[in-house]
Amino acid sequence: MVSEEGMSGAGARYIQMQSEPMPSMISSFFSFRQNPESTRIFEELPKATIVSVSRPDASDISPMLLSYTIEFRYQQFKWRLIRKASQVFYLHFALKKRAIIEEIHEKQEQVKEWLQNIGIGEHTAVMHDDDEPDEETVPLHHDESVKNRDVPSSAALPIIRPALGRQHSVSDRAKVAMQGYLNLFLGNLDIVNSREVCKFLEVSKLSFSPEYGPKLKEDYVMVKHLPKIPKDDDIKKCCPCHWLSCCNDNWQKVWAVLKPGFLALLEDPFNPQPLDIIVFDLLPASDGNGEGRLSLAKEIKERNPLRHALKMDEVHSLTDNRKFLKVTCGNRSIRLRAKSSAKVRDWVAAINDAGLRPPEGWCHPHRFGSFAPPRGLIDDGSLAQWFVDGRAAFEAIASAIEEAKSEIFICGWWVCPELYLRRPFQSHASSRLDALLEAKAKQGVQDIYILLYKEVALALKINSVYSKRKFLSIHENVKVLRYPDHFSTGVYLWSHHEKLVIVDYQICFIGGLDLCFGRYDTAEHKVGDQPPLIWPGKDYYNPRESEPNSWEDTMKDELDRGKYPRMPWHDVHCALWGPPCRDAARHFVQRWNYAKRNKAPNEQAIPLLMPQHHMVIPHYMGISREMDVENKYEDFKQIDSFSTRSSFQDIPLLLPQQPDGLDSPNEESKLNSSVSLLDQPTRANKSISFSFRKSKTEPVLDMPMKGFVDDLDTLDLKGKMSSDVMAQPGIRTSNREWWETQERGNQVLSADETRQVGPCIPCRCQVIRSVSQWSAGTSQVEDSTHNAYCSLIEKAEHFIYIENQFFISGLSGDEIIRNRVLEALYRRIMRAYNDKKCFRVIIVIPLLPGFQGGLDDGGAASVRAIMHWQYRTICRGNNSILQNLYEVIGPKTHDYISFYGLRAYGRLFDGGPVASSQVYVHSKIMIVDDCTTLIGSANINDRSLLGSRDSEIGVLIEDKELTDSYMGGRPRKAGKFARSLRLSLWSEHLGLRGGEIDQINDPVVDSTYRDVWMATAKTNSAIYQDVFSCIPSDLIHSRAAMRQQMAIWKEKLGHTSIDLGLAPTKLESYDNGDMKTIEPMERLDAVKGHLVSFPLDFMCKEDLRPVFNESEYYASPQVFH
């Protein structure tokens, strides 16, 4: 990366030449010398090669009309420019003029110093030999330095007057002359870093920042939409005239920088902070006029013929007045003006090429209609690792934040500054989120950006105003935005629901966990914590019982710990490295910039962000590699479900230099005959996984997959994981049983410990999301998460495992519920039934919605409404899946699909009452055939999946490393990531120890599905019913029956929780006609894990929809589904 340190003593700095008399230029130069540039663009000398020489007319031998195609190289960057001889000639005179001005100035300085030394002129202190110069002092340059920066006038003569001769001889000699001249001025760092030369070379401070991708087009353009930029008056003139008013219309000159993923507008080539940025995103499939896909940029007509006529020297004819271009992306459209029609056409072509060029092709939809392409088709550094429950994920997030060097991005539905990421909290005070961020800000992490959902205060009590205030008080490096503004945007019903933490563009955490109270938990899922050790204050959280009215006194308990259980929280999160991480960061940048423009357009303290890029080293760097990548691609194409209909185009992108301590790539591979790229050494064998102790996050360099644009239905998983897949050389295999002992850094953890943290392994990953105009400023709705769900279900072969906070979906023809996850499940099950094949669908959801209020309370209409839509989806009415399957399959329906919840129990404190609570299922995952995993923030309902409502983000992960397993009683290779996650979840839910994992290796056979899974759920449900008679229950069919049950238990216990979660001190039971009493814990000892059956008959005689005297009756039903 270009250094941003000052270059004191490195020679003269240059300013842009102005068309003014000599005294003004000298005055300007004096001003410059007092305020020198703090940075340079070039830290070493670039190289130039004349590729070709051409002329507009073969019969014209005028040297001034020759055009030169020049190839420039700087570090790992390469670009080409076409320059006319006249342009080089003008550059030469500008440099000569600069040298004259410098020489005059230096002579003046010398005379001034001489006069002062003899006591004439202004008296200044004389610096003695033993005095040290002040740091701000600009050293004087002597005659020799001026001569070194001078370009001899004779150097340009061969360009103007090459030797006469035959046509090819003139071109050849002109080429030699131009090469010699370029070598002359490119051989001096001072000259190369002058503004004139940088403009000639089309370079800026962003040109050679590897994190933003290869160098593309740059130049000055005129814009009208920006606030006034303070400049000298003559800089912003659009034409040489000073006496007409054609320039007084707010057009301003800015430096435009085109990169593969965005167009940035800078005040100056030497200032890297953007004034504006357009992040390229999906374009509509049609422009509305039937002329095909909308272009990112296009030419438009100039409306002012006077201005055009006055600028005839910059156009070819009076009729050619196309000097504008319009760039349209998302809901934004800006106009740019260039000097000529030719420049406009160049910009239009360059912008459209950058927006649609593979592999990213940000303006073209990828598979599932996603903004992001599939990653990991080659060894590009795409890694993934899963975490089950809050303890494992929060520990990893804390470790990553502690290792942050430059950027921390946090995006959440709810973010609590006082959240402890490590427990017990008394011994981990420094792990509190605000303390972590403060420490990193003081250590020099400049960019800490937090994007909060701005809730409707009447509906939610998450108090984002308080969170923003607390975060902003930490340090000036912490920037916070809340969005949306409900009144100005008109958005009241929908929320920003993503959960993202991104550190240094190296690691991204994504999934279901918000950084907020109530989320920290372990596999044990304790219901009590008295005295407080794990959950301090309001982190002891049970939204079914009570939601705090204020979060400001966070260490004060909301619940009486001696009377009420906390609600355990089950969730799944994952970490991503490499290109998928940067795709998620790109989503954050889009959302941040959109919120910035709407909330703080003129607030300088809140900057616009630029997305970073994925790069590979170009072949011309001269590094060799013996591996044949083309053969490797062929292997992938045979077995890779992502590769169907792929367009493998090789794109010469760039790879940043290796960080200190890492070996640089040192081999070259040939991808095809036209372009050679370097393949990055894989880091799959390095241990980058997180343990429960503090670990350092290693940076992982990344490179792009091949060009890829897919239809929505190209996921082909059929047969890909069968045993013959092992013959394919592109897939790694692990026959060792890694589940029992997994290496993590310098320690080996037992099976019980490893269940919460998965292996960190190379995977194929694609970021998917739900966004629209209101949430991210996109021009169209993106529902790639919905498309991915439906496609994966359709392609599933053996089983589907789903955990989700909600399950609200519709069958074909349902006019109310619009997402079609349910339809996809129904069709897949019917296909298996018709083919007489075994197929399982297991769905785990919360037993009750996690909102405040007893189910019979007047204020619990929202809870009942959500229950209505879920039961409508599952088992009640003509739109439910179970009813439709029963009509065809009958009682065997449960062989294909079944529903479950989670429940936990324990004492509230030593010797205290025995309590139970549902384990709130907040995870949003789907595992298909032990080879594909979907993890994210999206619930299965219309709010999350339609794209036009809540904003969501997730990732689809497909395994590349396989391990031995079974499916349907037969040996089969399973994906290491997907299988390990399923085994972790199932062993937790079923209460299995490490040595009992073999019981669930095969998820399909009856010995697993019936004898272990269903039997455990049935037994646990019966025990909980015996001990607690807890709610919900299949024995309660109406609100009247529930009121009766509540009255009985309150009379028996004197006090109970809102869902009957307290046990009596003694249980009465009958044994051979004799009544005996036992301790509740003695009966509960037979419970294994947390799995229980979902009560399908609960409230089956009630219409749970809001009624007219409830405020929810007048709200849009869309709020609840």
- Catalytic site positions: 497, 499, 504, 922, 924, 929
CA angle, 202 as apex, 201 and 208 as ends, to 5°?
95
Task: Give the torsion through C-alpha atoms of 894, 895, 899, 902, to 10 deg.
Answer: 120
Q: Residue type at 369? A: G
Distance of alpha carbon 31 from alpha carbon 884, whole angstroms: 82
Q: Please tell me whether the peptide bond between 484 and the residue prior to it is cis, using omega within 30 degrees of 0.
A: yes
| Residues 6 or more apart in contact with residue 604 via CB below 8 angstroms | none
Cβ atoms within 10 Å of 478's Cβ, excluding its own: 22
| Residues 6 or more apart in contact with residue 158 via CB below 8 angstroms | 173, 174, 176, 177, 180, 181
**749-782 b/e with 16+ CB inside 10 Å = b?**
bebebbbbbbbbbbbbbbbbbbbbebbbbbbbbb
Distance of alpha carbon 52 from alpha carbon 50, whole angstroms: 6
Identify the CA nearest to 495 among candidates 544, 462, 450.
462
- 3-state DSSP call for residue 662? coil
- 3-state DSSP call for residue 425? helix
DSSP 261-312: TEEEEESSTT--SEEEEEE--PPPS--SSSSSSPPSEEEE----HHHHHHTG
CA 1039 to chain centre: 46
Beta bridge partners of 959: 763
Q: What is the 3-state secondary structure (H, E, C) of 868-922?
A: HHHHHHHCCCCCCHHHHHHHHHHHHHHHCEEEEEEEEEEECCCCCCEEEEECEEC
- 3-state DSSP call for residue 850? coil
Backbone dihedral angles phi then psi of residue 1086, each to the nearest 5 degrees: -80, -10
| Residues 6 or more apart in contact with residue 484 via CB below 8 angstroms | 454, 491, 496, 595, 598, 774, 775
Q: Residue type at 207? A: S
Contact predicate 836/847, CB 8 Å: no
Q: Take residue 1087 and report the two structure tokens written for it.
A: 């419970």
CA 263 to chain centre: 19
* DSSP character at residue 96: H
Q: Please tell me whether the peptide bond between 359 and the residue prior to it is cis, using omega within 30 degrees of 0.
A: yes
CA angle, 651 as apex, 645 and 653 as ends, to 5°?
135
Rounded to the nearest 5 percent, the helix, strand and coil shares of the chain are 30, 20, 50
Which position has the token pair 């090789």?
650
**CA dihedral (481, 483, 489, 490) positive or negative:** negative
* DSSP character at residue 420: B
Instruction: Let me know if 1056 is exposed, middle or buried by CB neighbors in 10 A (0-12, 13-18, 19+).
Output: buried
Distance of alpha carbon 134 from alpha carbon 143, whole angstroms: 23
Q: Please tell me whether the peptide bond between 1032 and the residue prior to it is cis, using omega within 30 degrees of 0.
A: yes
**379-405 b/e with 16+ CB inside 10 Å = b?**
bbbbbbbbbbbbbbbbbbbbbbbbbbb
